[in-house]
Amino acid sequence: MTIYVHIGYPKVASTTIQGFLAQNHRIIAKHGLVYPRIANNGEEARGRPLNNHNMLATDLTRGTLGLAWQRLHQAIKDHPNIILSAEGLVSCNPRSLQEALGPHEVQIIVYLRQLSQVFPSLYAQITKFGFNLDDFDAFLDTRYIAQYFDIPSRLIGFADVFGAHNIKVRLLDKRALVGGDVRTDILAAADVDGVDPSTFRPTKDQNVSPDWKTLEIWRDISTSLAGRLIAQHGKGAVDKARSARLRRQRSPLYDFAAAMEPACTAIGKSLGWTDRGRYVSQGQFEAWERVFDTAIDQLKAAGMRLSFEVAEFMRRFSTIGIWSLLSGEKRMPVLFKSLAPMGNSGSFAVKRPTQEKDTRP
């Protein structure tokens, strides 16, 4: 048997993958792959949907395997091939995960996404639920983004335990995804072939970022609420509210921030606000591209199974002129003007622009 473990990262379509697998678990089982619907008793008591396996990651972090792991071990006994999905597993100790899964073949699946796409998406996610009150540049100094600069060492840690050939690295880019969609791609990653996509129940993309106007108004409202909370209960009130939210207890500030989501999103859509904004400056874009390219090269050198070589070539090639598209010029620069001859060899070197152009809202 084989256990396929999708380990995240956050803001790389994990919730979309989990929703698809959960809603179609019976159909997927007919193709020999089981997505177990397991939870701790507490999760069931709260009526939470069993779309992911985050409780497995939580137990590993605590160092105590609870009821969810017992149920998983039973599912492993009953079925030949299992697929799991939990964002939190990417931060867990790989050796602890191996020991908890037992003596079975394990293949690790991880999706990566360009940092220039991840950080604005992460900013939107954290902001709309009230956990971030800073603007985008200040947000970049928070702890939330640190995990994305540690990708090579983190995944090499998994490779050391499970073997580099058992680490499947996928790129969240339509050019690289099987069928151009992460839903069909996750099945391909789990070695499920020949499936007709029309047989599955359609599921929506999850945690889609709102337009930038809605998001910034949303952040302003949350900031005002936080200020009022501090005025009434002291400087520690926001930290107490955040701790309560993380413990899933009543938290007036964050409960209200979460409750605003459908109303704010609906109002923004009714006003025709669809622009997600250009939060990333040219300097940030180019710096993050270099970081991401280096990470991919390190993973490849470590012997991991990268499924997107052609797409990766096109992605790197497109950065020659992609900034003009992102910055709103809506045209590709004349490539020959951005290429400089190198001697008489007939080869060319890309000349990167040096002037900073900040087009953020």
Distance CA 354, CA 286 (A): 10
Same domain, 251 and 171: no
Domain assignment present for 244: yes
Same domain, 82 and 35: yes
Same domain, 179 and 251: no
Can you give the pLDDT of all 361 residues of the chain as single tens digits?
Answer: 899 999 989 899 999 999 999 999 999 999 999 999 886 555 554 555 578 898 899 899 988 888 889 989 999 998 889 999 998 899 999 999 999 999 999 999 999 999 999 999 999 988 887 788 899 999 999 888 988 999 999 999 999 999 999 999 999 998 899 999 999 999 999 999 878 888 888 888 888 888 899 999 888 888 887 777 777 777 776 677 767 666 666 666 666 766 777 888 889 999 999 888 889 998 899 899 999 999 999 999 999 999 888 888 878 877 665 555 555 554 444 444 444 443 333 333 333 334 444 444 4
Distance CA 49, CA 64 (A): 23
Distance CA 196, CA 359 (A): 43
* Contact (Cβ atoms closer than 8 angstroms) between residue 189 and residue 168: yes
Distance CA 94, CA 316 (A): 31
Q: Please name the residues in contact with 149: beta carbons below 8 A apart, sequence gap of 6 or more.
A: 291
Domain assignment present for 108: yes
Domain stops at, among 254, 270, 286? 270
Same domain, 63 and 100: yes
Same domain, 190 and 217: no
Same domain, 106 and 235: no
> How many Cβ atoms are within 10 Å of 2's Cβ, its own excluded?
15
Same domain, 90 and 176: yes
Same domain, 193 and 93: yes
Name the residue range of residue 61's domain: 2-114+146-199
Same domain, 23 and 169: yes
Write the pLDDT tens digit of every residue in 148-206.
999 999 999 999 999 999 999 999 998 899 999 999 999 999 999 878 888 888 888 88
Q: Is the peptide bond before 9 cis (omega within 30 degrees of 0)?
A: yes
Strand locations in the chain (E) = 2-6, 81-85, 105-112, 167-171, 305-306, 339-341, 348-350
Same domain, 105 and 216: no
Q: Are strands 339-341 and 167-171 parallel, antiparallel or unpaired?
A: unpaired
User: What phi and psi values does residue 81 have, to the nearest 5 degrees?
Assistant: -130, 130
Q: What's the pTM value of the predicted model, to 2 decimals?
A: 0.81
Domain assignment present for 327: no
Cα-only R_g, the chain: 22
> How many Cβ atoms are within 10 Å of 266's Cβ, its own excluded?
11
Domain assignment present for 281: no
Q: What is the CATH number of the domain that holds 177?
A: 3.40.50
Distance CA 313, CA 310 (A): 5
Same domain, 94 and 235: no
Residue 290 CA, distance from chain mean position: 19
Domain assignment present for 33: yes
Q: Please name the residues in contact with 308: beta carbons below 8 A apart, sequence gap of 6 or more.
A: 170, 171, 173, 175, 176
* Contact (Cβ atoms closer than 8 angstroms) between residue 34 and residue 79: yes
Number of domains in the chain: 2
Pick from 67, 45, 42: which is nearest to 56 by CA? 67
Write the pLDDT tens digit of every residue in 142-162.
888 988 999 999 999 999 999
Write the pLDDT tens digit of every residue in 52-72.
898 899 899 988 888 889 989
Same domain, 93 and 174: yes
What's residue 122's pLDDT?
93
